[in-house]
Every structure is written in structure tokens, then in C-alpha cells.
């Protein structure tokens, strides 16, 4: 049994959209984590500056 080009196109169309959505979700979660870390760092810097006053 060989897989034809039409079969590969069908597989690509079936798996393609969910894979793209999954990758976008993971990318958003990853970037959100980076933004959170940056914000926590800025917050801690402001808190240390406020404590020093």
C-alpha cells in the first residue's frame, strides 16, 4: 500500500490546522510567561527602591 499525493494533502489538511492552533497556543503561553517574569522583575526593583527610601 502506497500513500498517494492526495492522501498526503488530506493528512496535511487534517493535521495542519490543529497543529497550527496548538503551536500558537504554546507560543502565547511562552510569551506570557516571559512578560510575567519581566513584570515581576520590574515590580521587585520598584519595591526595593521604595524600601530603601
Taking only the tens place, the pLDDT of each residue in 14-45 is 888 788 789 889 999 999 999 999 999 999 99
- Give helix then strand counts, H and E, for the chain: 1, 0
CA–CA dist 32, 34 (Å, integer): 5
Q: Residue 10 pLDDT more than 80?
A: yes
The SS3 call for residue 2 is coil
Instruction: Give the per-residue pLDDT at 39.
Output: 95
pTM: 0.54
The SS3 call for residue 21 is helix
Greater confidence (5 vs 23) lies with 5
Amino acid at each position: 500500500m502506497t500513500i498517494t499525493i492526495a492522501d498526503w494533502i488530506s493528512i496535511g489538511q487534517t493535521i495542519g490546522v490543529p497543529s497550527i492552533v496548538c503551536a500558537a497556543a504554546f507560543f502565547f503561553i511562552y510569551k506570557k510567561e516571559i512578560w510575567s517574569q519581566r513584570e515581576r522583575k520590574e515590580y521587585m526593583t520598584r519595591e526595593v527602591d521604595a524600601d530603601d527610601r
